Amino acid sequence: MAMITANPYAIQFIGAALFGLAVLHTFSTRYFEHLAHTNPAHSGLWHLLGEVEAVFGFWAMVLLVFMAFAGGWETTAAYLDDQRFIEPMFVFVIMVIAASRPIMQCTTDLVGRVAQAMPLRRNIALVFLSLSMVPLLGSFITEPAAMTIAALMLRDGLFSQKISAKLKYAAIGVLFVNVSIGGALTNFAAPPVLMVAAKWDWSSAHMFSTMGWKAALAVLINATLVTFLFRRELAGIADRVPDARSRVPGMFVVVNVALLAGVVFANHDPEVFMGLFLLFLGLAEAYRRYHDALMLREGLMVAFFLAGLVVLGGQQQWWLQDTLSNLDGSTLFFGAAALTAITDNAALTYLGSLVEGVSDEFKYALVAGALSGGGLTVIANAPNPAGFAILKDRFEDKTINLFWLFVAALLPTIVAIGCLWGLRGTVDQIFDGQRWMAWFDSIDRSFLFLLLLPFVVAVVGLWADSDRQRRSDKTEI
């Protein structure tokens, strides 16, 4: 207690340090998975620490333990009471409902009908629509629901085939970016927009006219690019085997769609959407024959991840808000896009909204930058952990290399930047070195270190993983 009294910023500095460790840990999960195989006595612990979804929850618990010892339980409980855990709760609920068999049947039928009308082979059309139409639906069913549905369609379709790792990473990179920007057609579906819409009086009409149409254009360009670049590989995949299970009755599908719509409508009111979720669980138990196993474990792990991000993120206001308030125009746009890679984009826009007396240019640059960078890492956008949890088992060693995810998301992110900022100004601003230098000069060097650290760790981790793989190959020979 004496330490906290003498230095009121101690908790903030500890929170920032633990946040940095959590980001480091996120890029180092493959090392813990390696420990689980080489140290079987404690494999359970290493497997837990190797789960990306557990990282921020684990370090948030460390922070809470420190706060409890330093300031007492009442201080810790008061801090938790001040945080908003609605988003983790909502993502959990929407992920479980959207992944249910009735909702997936409805969505698959809709996408299938659109695919039939396209002048493309059905398998190619389905991939294109999974990466374009479904993310754009996120503007109406929310981004977490769109991510869940699109990831499941890819998992059971494209990713169930024998395809290259390059195609897998290209697809997930486009998926993460497109979901991040695909919710920008309305004012309630994308978390970074939702955080500022009420305060800045942004309507859905305003969103569509200022950002939505540009985001939709970027989504279509990204989906078209990945489909075109991998057209030969996509043309060689086998046709998807029709679902042999009996179809869910139309009336039961309608009831579940109504529950999903109710949850989306009540996304601000946990008492309402949790009640609807309990009703959904009751119906799922009563009509088991129309359901597969519900995605409860995956949903809870994603909620744990996001809740940890909320707890740790609450201690970052002291440096993030000052950083954002010192930026404007292009500098703010690119700064927001970069900062989003190491912090949740909704938290970023929320902190930016606390800055008073800002211009319309500031508002646009902050939100557009946060949307553009939302696909770069698993922590950049709230729905990303859901997609990660659904798709990771389809990758080698049942894990997604976060460095390659970052690399795969770079090109679609540049497309998003070109549309959301380039169409507003000039596209060549993206490649303007002086603007980038101005942004770097405006950031305190200690925070610049925190910004670059995850990518340095990712490169080192990639090198260590490649070295370990080479040694393993030599041993086999």
Write the pLDDT tens digit of every residue in 359-409: 889 899 999 999 999 999 988 898 999 999 999 999 987 888 888 999 999
Query: Is 372 in contact with 337 (CB distance < 8 Å)?
Result: yes
Residue 130 is predicted with a pLDDT of 95
C-alpha to C-alpha distance for 43 and 324, rounded to whole angstroms = 42
**Residue predicted with more confidence, 230 or 455:** 230
C-alpha to C-alpha distance for 52 and 384, rounded to whole angstroms = 11
Write the pLDDT tens digit of every residue in 429-450: 556 667 666 656 665 555 556 5
DSSP annotation of 268 = T
H-assigned helices in 373-444: 384-391, 402-417, 433-442
**Residue predicted with more confidence, 154 or 199:** 154
Residue 26 is predicted with a pLDDT of 80
Residue 465 is predicted with a pLDDT of 56
Q: How many CB atoms sit inside 10 A of residue 208's CB?
A: 18
Flag whether pLDDT at 5 surpasses 50.
no
CA atoms within 13 A on the CB side of 245: 10
Return the structure tokens found at 180.
Answer: 């991040």
Residue 13 is predicted with a pLDDT of 87
Average pLDDT of the chain is 84
For the purposes of burial, counting CB atoms within 10 Å of the CB of 454, is it exposed (0-12), middle (13-18) or buried (19 or more)?
buried
Query: Which of 352, 97, 349, 130 shows the shortest CA–CA distance to 227?
Result: 130
Flag whether pLDDT at 281 surpasses 80.
yes
| Percentage above 90 pLDDT, the chain | 41
C-alpha to C-alpha distance for 351 and 319, rounded to whole angstroms = 10
**Residue predicted with more confidence, 377 or 322:** 377
Average pLDDT over residues 107-128: 90
**Residue predicted with more confidence, 326 or 234:** 234
Flag whether pLDDT at 241 surpasses 70.
no
What's at 190, amino acid-wise? A
Query: Is 169 in contact with 405 (CB distance < 8 Å)?
Result: yes
Residue 3 is predicted with a pLDDT of 41
How big is the chain, counted in residues? Answer: 477
Average pLDDT over residues 17-25: 86
